[in-house]
Amino acid sequence: MENDTCCMNRLILSHNGQNNVLLELHCEDGSSIDFVKNIRGKKRQEKIGVYAIYNAAADGNSFLFFNYLTQRAYITPACFSDCVPEYTSLDFKKRNIILRNTNSFTGSLNDTLKIGEKPEYVVCGKKFQFVKAIMKIIY
């Protein structure tokens, strides 16, 4: 929804005739909820929905993963600059995912930065090639 003074993004789960708001974002600064992709399972059915929660003030993303099979939503509490999810590392049982630094170069460390559950802003820069991020259940 958008008007002259503000906008609001809502990520809504429609299931059995009910609409449940998974995430709501007021976006006066250009922040947004952006669909990234659906990950398909072995039988080509959609299994996981991936969304980037863009924070314009920080110029970074948190990531939301919606498991269609269990109807659960998970989000990274930290906001990441210049990182993208490695979907094969997604682990709902351990509630973590590996993010790959898009700015790494040949001389960067292969170390993995481990991020806890506190909401923080993480700039990978050129120091770390991977970040292990924790996910919180939000629905």
Distance CA 60, CA 64 (A): 13
**106 — pLDDT class (breaks 50, 70, 90):** low
Give the per-residue pLDDT at 25: 80
pTM of the model: 0.82
What are the tens digits of pLDDT across the range 47-74? 999 999 999 888 999 999 999 889 899 9
CA distances from 31 to 27, 42, 53, 101 (A): 5, 34, 8, 21
At 17-32, the pLDDT tens digits run 888 888 888 777 788 9
Query: Which DSSP category does 89 fall into?
Result: G
Distance CA 112, CA 84 (A): 14
Q: SS3 of 87, please? A: helix
